[in-house]
Structure 1
Amino acid sequence: MEILDWIQNWFKDNCDGDWEQGEGIQITTLENPGWEIEIDISNTSIANITIDGILNEKSKKDWYGVKIENQRFTASGDAGKLKFLLELFREMIEKIEN
């Protein structure tokens, strides 16, 4: 399944009348340039997971970082990493749910 279809379905599956009223999913751009994704994972299957920050920096144009803390998945990466970051989130969800 295409990542945008998957994240859309994941969002719909987690909407409960309350969760989506908070921050839900935020995708923003960074000035360096790059992407940042923040996903509220409270009341989801991975709500109690914590991952210390992981940073993979090959160069100023090839990097990403990811962490889960305080019931929030946060990932950022260079301008070409949006799809990759969303796929990382999907991998985490699928590993825990399976």
Structure 2
Amino acid sequence: MSESEHVLDWLQHWYASHCDGDWEHEWGVTIGTLDNPGWTVKIDLEETDLADREYPRQQVTRDEHDWVMAWTSDRTFHIACGPGNLTEALTLFRAWASEGAP
């Protein structure tokens, strides 16, 4: 994957690369909205090479609508962010997931 590839294209590829006829029936990626307002994302890591890696809770708060939180727990990468921070938050996941990748 090229560094300039849009993060959503990258996420679609990451998801598709784990769909093996079984994984997608139990695991996946969920994107929802928050009422404060903002986004929530849950990326299942079970049965991936990321399942046992940790991402300690990170939080950046710039103002009421400009913030990002990301962390792993229970073999899941969690994101919560402001209404304009979804790309930034998914980029955190891409950077973490790509560490050490060729």
- TM-score, scaled relative to structure 2: 0.88
Moved over 2 A (4+): none
Report % sequence identity: 33
Report the CA distance between 1:97 and its aligned residue: 2.4
- What secondary structure, in the 3-state scheme, does the structure 1 residue paired with 2:57 have? strand
Bigger drift between 19-28 and 71-80 goes to: 19-28
Higher strand fraction (1 or 2): 1
Partner residue in 1 for 2:68? 64
What is the match of residue 87 of structure 2? 83
CA distance in 2, matches of 1:96, 1:89: 14
Distance 1:4 1:20 in 2: 18
Structure 1: which 5+ runs fail to align?
none
Task: State whether residues 48 and 71 of structure 1, in contact with CA within 8 Å, keep that contact through their aligned partners in structure 2.
Answer: yes
Partner SS for 2:47 = coil
Amino acid at match of 1:22: E
| Aligned-pair CA distance for 1:43 | 1.3
Provide the aligned length of Structure 1 versus Structure 2. 98
CA contact (8 A) 1:45 1:93 kept: no
TM-score by length of 1: 0.91
CA RMSD, 1 decimal:
1.2
Query: Per-residue deviation at 1:52?
Result: 2.8
Q: Which amino acid aligns with 1:30?
A: L
CA contact (8 A) 1:64 1:76 kept: yes
